Chain A
C-alpha cells in the first residue's frame, strides 16, 4: 500500500555520545569548542544551490498557525504561541525582503479560524496584526482538514504561474477532521499546492504523507534556534514544479512624483490605500505614485491598484529577487595554516584570526569567516569578483 522509504528511526541507530563532542583545551575552558559548534551551525546555513533550476519567483504563501490547547505548553519560552508569533514577525520581514513581488502572506489560526491578516503588500500590517494576536487564548483541538480546506478555497483561484504554498505550524499530535483527509490531499496535489509543515511536538504520520504527496517538507523542531532556521528555509523561492504555467504578467511602473509645499500646482490628495484602513493618520499627501492606467494615487509600492487591478512595482523591487537567479557559489574552506601570503581578509581588511579561511573559487581571494557569512547572507556578490569582472 504505502511505499515509504525505509528510514532508520533514531532509537534504532547506535548510541550517540553527545558528551564527547565537548572537549576541554589545556586551560580547562570550553570556549574553543563552543565557538566551534556555533561556527559549524552558522556554516550549515549556507545553501546548497539548485543550479539551473527554474524557481517559483512569484509566490502566494499561506501560513497557518495552530492555536489549539497544546500551544500553551511552555517548552518554548514563554509559551509556544508567543514564541511562534515572535518568530513569525521576523519571518514576515525576511520574506518580504527577499520576495518583494506579490508575495501574500496570509495568516490564520487553525482552531479559531480567524484571519490574522489578509493579503497586505507590505510587512507592516502583518507585523502589527501578529503583535495584536499575541494575547489570544488557545483552546480545543486543531483540525487539519478544515485549515487546508479554507486555504485551498483561496489558493485555487490564484493564477497558474505563481507558486502556491501553504506552511503549517502544527503543534498538536491529533487532528479532528470532518471528512477523509486523504481525499483532500489528492485534491491539493491536483491543484499543485505545495504544503509544508513545521511540527512543534513530534512527527505525525498524516503530516508526513501530506507533505510527501504535495512535494513540501516536513520538519520537527529541536529548539527555538532550530525553529528559526527552519522558518528561514521557507523564505527562499522553491524550485518550481515542471507543470506550473509560465506567463507574462502585466505590471505598471509608476513614477514617483515629489511635490513640495511651495509648488503652485501641487494639490494634496488621499492615497487609495488609506480608504480601507482606520488607524492611520490624516493621509493627505502631496506626492506619491500614480498608477499609469487609472491615475489612482498610492504612497508605497508594491501594491495592486484597487481601481484597475494593475500590479504596481518599481524596478528595484524586481532587482531584489535577482540574487535568487544568480546565486553566489559557496566559498572553499581551508585551514589557516595552509594559507600563504598576506594574512588579511580582502573584504574587511581585518586580520585573519579564525582557524579557517574562505577562498572564492572564481577570483581566489581570501575572506574571513564573518565576511563569508555576510557575503552569502546579505551581500550576495563577492567584492573581489566585481573587480576582476571589470578587468577581464
Chain B
C-alpha cells in the first residue's frame, strides 16, 4: 500500500529514430511508430492511474535531439481547466490522462515534422536522453515537499542497434575504434562514426554510473536485437532487461513486466536476468579477453605485453629476472 508520502516517478524514453522505423515499416507493416506509441501511452496512463501521487515523464529520443513529450515546458498544471475544454471532458475520462495523451500526440507530430535527418548521424542518441532524464529526476526530487520520498525509474524502449559482442573503454584521437554493428550499416566515414560511437560509450557509462549512485533503476525493453550496453545498464542499476519476441504485443509486455515498481517485483515471477558479458575487449585486436594487461596511466587494455602503450605512448618497465648475487663459497682449509 503506497502511502501519501511515496512518490513514484516513471520516465519513459522512446526511440523515434525515423530510419529504423522506416525500415521496420517495410519489413512488418502492421507494427509502426503510432502503434508503439499507443502501447507506451497505455503504459503511461496505467502508471498515472495506479496511485494519485505517481508522476510521469516521456522523452522521445531522436537522432539529433531528445525532446520531452510530456510534461511540456510551456504547459503548466494550472492551464488544464482553462484551455482544454474540447476533447478531454467529452468522454468522461480522467482529465489528466486525456490531456497527457493529446499533448504527447501533438508533440510527437511536431517533432517528426520538424526534424530532418542529416548525413550520417543516424543513430539514436540514447545517452543524451538518459542524461536529460536524470537531470529531470534530480530537479523533481528537489521540489518534493518535506517528508516525501521518491523512487524513480527509467524505462527505455528502443531499437538500439548496437551489437552486444564488443565494447570499449576509451578513445584517443590516434586510434579508431570500430565498435558496434552500426559501422556495418553506415560506412560513409568509418573513423568519424567510430569515434562518435566510442564517445557515446563513455557518456553512456557515465550516465549509468550516475543513475546507480542516485538509486534510479533503468529498465530496457528492446524491440529488435540484443544490446550489450543496455544489458549492462540494467544489470548495474538493478533494472529489468527484456527483448520482446512479438512486437505487436508490446502493450502486454509493458504492462505485465514493467509496470510494477521495484518493491513489488520481488513478489512476481518475471523474465530471468540475462547473462551479461562483462569481459573487456583488447585495444589491438578487439577480441574479448579474459586476462589482459592494463596500462596504469590511461587504463587501456592489451592482450599481450608490449613495451609501449599505444594510446598514451608511455614506455613501460620490462620486468627482468632478478640478478642473483654470486655466493662466496667459503674455502675450507684443511688444518
Contacts and interface: CB of A to CB of B under 8 A. Distances in A.
Interface of A: 54, 57-58, 97, 160-162, 240, 245-258, 260, 292-293, 310, 314-316, 318-323, 325-326, 342, 344-351, 370-371, 374-375, 378-384, 386-387, 389-392
A320 B128 contact: no
Contacts of A379: 131, 134-135, 206-207, 210
15 contacts: A247-B317, A250-B292, A251-B293, A258-B273, A348-B136, A374-B134, A374-B135, A381-B206, A383-B128, A383-B131, A386-B131, A387-B125, A390-B63, A390-B121, A390-B200
Contacts of A315: 167, 169, 278-280
Given A249-B293, A315-B167, A387 B136 contact: no
A58 B295 CA distance: 10
B121 A391 contact: yes
Contact of B196 (A254, A348, A384, A389): A389
Contacts of A246: 295-297, 309, 314-317
A383 B135 contact: yes
Contacts of B297: 54, 57, 240, 246
A248 B291 contact: no
B296 A247 contact: yes
Contacts of B299: 57, 318, 321-322, 325
Interface in B107-124: 118, 121, 123
A387 B275 contact: no
A250 B291 contact: yes
A326 to B, nearest CB: 7
Interface residues of B, number: 68
Interface string B131-146: 1101110110010000
Nearest to A342: B73
Contacts of A386: 125, 127-128, 131, 200, 203
B294 A251 contact: yes
Contacts of B207: 379, 381
Nearest to A314: B278
A250 B293 contact: yes
A135 to B, nearest CB: 30
B289 interface: yes
B214 to A, nearest CB: 7
A348 B65 contact: no
Contacts of B97: none
Given A246-B295, A251-B292, A322-B299, A390 B210 contact: no
Given A248-B309, A253-B292, A386-B128, A319 B202 contact: yes
